[in-house]
Amino acid sequence: MFTLLSNFYTYVENIMVDYIDLDFTLWLTWMLAPLLITFLLPLIIVFLLYLTGLILYIYKLHGNRLRHAYETDFWDGARKTVAAVWDAHGWIWHGYEVCGLENIS
């Protein structure tokens, strides 16, 4: 009985490998790609939120020096930097292009 099951298993395995051409790594990659993308995009967004907070904190700490560098409002440089980071994120992930970035107050 055991040899019969073993022979059947070998027969099914040969059919799958020879006729179906089942490449396990390719199948596994295609199966896990949506799962990877599902968790990768929210992690990137969370990373960018923390990066935005870090940029604003740095601008808050070094405000006097940066104000002289920009010769404008204190938050103008921070807004432009954060807008550039999020614009790059939108362009990379979604092909989204911001038109009129200079009009953002």
Amino acid at 53: G
Of residues 99 and 36, the one with the higher pLDDT is 36
Give the sign of the dihedral formed by CA 14, CA 19, CA 20, CA 22: positive
Question: From the CB of residue 78, how many other CB atoms can be counted at a distance below 10 Å?
Answer: 20
Is the full-model pTM beyond 0.75?
no
Q: What is the mean pLDDT of the chain?
A: 74
Q: At residue 69, does pLDDT exceed 60?
A: no
Mean pLDDT of 47-72: 73
**Each residue's pLDDT tens digit, 24-46:** 767 777 888 888 888 888 888 88
Distance CA(105)–CA(101), nearest Å, equals 9
Q: Which two tokens stand for residue 93?
A: 């992930």
Report pLDDT for 72. 66
What is the pLDDT, as a whole number, of residue 68?
62
